[in-house]
Amino acid sequence: MSMYTTTTTGSHQQATGASAKAKGITTILVVGAGVGGLSAAYALRQSKAFREGLMDVRVVERRGGGGVDEQEGYPIHLSSSGRQALSALLTPQDLKLLHDARSEIPVLHDGLTVSSYTGKQVYRLIRDPCCQPMVERKRLLNILRSSAGEVEYGVEVKDVRQLAGGKVVVGLDDGGERIVDLVIAADGMFSPVRHSLLSSVPSAQNQGPVTVKKSEGHAAPDEITRMGYTTINLRTSSSAVVKWVKDPKGINMIYGDSFSATLIPLMPSISATYVNTTAPTNPSTEGTTPVKAVYVALTVPSKWLEPTFAARIEQHCDCPQTIAGAFLRDLEHSDGWPTRRGFELWSTSHTNGGQGRVVLIGDAAHGMVPFCGAGASAAIVDAVQLVNALDLALRANDNHHTLDLALNEFRSQSVTRNDPLIVRSKKLLWLAQGDGEVVRIVRRAVFWGLEMKERIGGERKRLERELQRLSGASKTPKEVIES
């Protein structure tokens, strides 16, 4: 049986001074080396408690091969709270690296431009000019890995069991065990750690001809539900797809009957890593850096991907191609379509922060539909807030009692912070997909009202001028953010 000890050597700090020896070392196991897990490990190693030798931090990740896979190639959106959390978390050197990474995607503001399937723009919002809210997931993970300490890859946690006195027994897939003082589970939507804390675990199945992310062999607990939609991710430099981008400096969304798509402009240097062809300049971007490639997240009903559904439509519906399907046909004929990847959407019903000395963060606690960067940004905020609480608790005189109080307070704050995001993300999915005539009527009314508010208020014109002034057609995105 593997057990953490109270003495660490090498990369792990030793307790120094009478105070540290009296308090002892708290052993912490971070489960998962995604955005949430690495943010937690990074924050723990930057904390005063770690520097004082009051904690020993280990990170395990079930994936092998350095934990790198194709998922790391997709960009993520950093919300305002996520950007603030990273600013508080990262060292000045790593902040500069993040600064450069964000400048590689030419999305300059945190607003949204919405168009219908006909190509008509129905809503435009400009927010936080030149905040650079997008970052390649792989770049962010590499920054966090650099100071998160050693990660043990190929170690899969099967379950957890809490003992009297505050210890936690962590069962591994290979039959081994580890005994620690605290488990921080950031192991995703289908978290085995959360599974072991719950009694009801109905099975999860996935369907569809595209490659869809499965639950990695784990059952889905009753706290998460299948949303009935699948998001298909791809990168393309096809001019037929690029032309749908209305705002080359922002996030774009297209909605249709039962589908929606988010389009993120990419720099040619970034897109060249993923696609080898180039597209002609988009006429709508004249006067700015031309959009030559985009990242697309297309969300469709999961039933569309079932072979039986497609066969029924083909057999019983002799329907002519309409303008409503123009965007989808452009995608299907793009250079990125053959390498697309699909991820079935699931969502929790509420936040589960764990129990006792087992705390859940990120998707393990509140997996939600990834609209507006809620998932990754929420995980980063979780990690920073949790470690702030742990740092104060472990340096307190009665640190074990204070630790339990700090964990309970963190869970309460996590519920307050993330439950509204869960509800909001589901509403946004419902609205964006427009699955039904009533929903489509509501959608048109909502975006008309939002657009009228922007026009009448006059704030958008001011922000347009500020965005133009700060960006400037002659500046590169990197020069923009540095200015």
pLDDT of residue 285: 40
| 321 band by pLDDT with thresholds 50, 70 and 90 | low
Between residues 274 and 449, the one the model is more confident about? 449
Q: Residues with Cβ < 8 Å from 400, sequence gap 6 or more?
A: 166
Q: Which residue has the tokens 């797809």?
A: 241
pLDDT tens-digit profile of 182-224?
Answer: 999 999 999 999 989 885 333 333 333 344 444 443 444 457 8
What's the one-letter identity of residue 340? Answer: R
pLDDT of 4 strictly over 80: no
Please give the average per-residue pLDDT across 223-238, as a whole number: 92
Helices (H), 246-362: 268-271, 307-316, 326-332
Please count the CA atoms within 13 angstroms of the CA of 39 that sit on its side-chain side: 30
Q: Residues with Cβ < 8 Å from 165, sequence gap 6 or more?
A: none
pLDDT of residue 267: 82
DSSP letter for 74, please: S
- Please, are residues 232 and 340 in contact by the beta-carbon 8 Å criterion? yes
SS3 28: strand
- Please, are residues 169 and 183 in contact by the beta-carbon 8 Å criterion? no
DSSP letter for 319, please: P
Buried/exposed 136-158: b ≥16 CB within 10 Å, e otherwise: bbbbbbebbbebbbebebebbbb
| Separation between Cα atoms, residue 434 and residue 441, nearest integer Å | 8
Q: What is the mean pLDDT of the chain?
A: 82
pLDDT tens-digit profile of 49-78?
Answer: 999 999 999 999 998 865 455 445 689 999
What is the percentage of the chain residues whose pLDDT exceeds 90?
Answer: 65
Please count the CA atoms within 13 angstroms of the CA of 195 that sit on its side-chain side: 20
Q: Which of 218, 242, 239 is nearest to 62 (CA)?
A: 218
pLDDT tens-digit profile of 432-474?
Answer: 999 999 999 999 999 999 999 999 988 899 999 998 888 764 4
Please give the average per-residue pLDDT across 248-265, as a whole number: 94
| 373 band by pLDDT with thresholds 50, 70 and 90 | low
| Separation between Cα atoms, residue 193 and residue 92, nearest integer Å | 34
Q: Which domains does the chain have, with CATH numbers?
A: 2-102+137-203+351-432 (3.50.50.60), 108-132+222-345+433-482 (3.30.9)
pLDDT tens-digit profile of 379-433?
Answer: 999 999 999 999 999 998 776 678 999 999 999 999 999 999 999 999 999 999 9
Between residues 416 and 13, the one the model is more confident about? 416
Buried/exposed 184-220: b ≥16 CB within 10 Å, e otherwise: bbbbbbbbbbbbbbeeeeeebebebeeebbebeebeb
pLDDT of 17 strictly over 90: no
pLDDT of 126 strictly over 70: yes
Please give the average per-residue pLDDT across 4-14, as a whole number: 37
Quick check: pTM over 0.85? no
* 25: its two tokens: 């070392």
Between residues 111 and 317, the one the model is more confident about? 111
Between residues 198 and 29, the one the model is more confident about? 29
Please give the average per-residue pLDDT across 245-272, as a whole number: 86
Please give the average per-residue pLDDT across 278-304, as a whole number: 68
pLDDT of 178 strictly over 50: yes
| Separation between Cα atoms, residue 452 and residue 93, nearest integer Å | 44
- Please, are residues 16 and 52 in contact by the beta-carbon 8 Å criterion? yes
What's the one-letter identity of residue 151? Answer: V
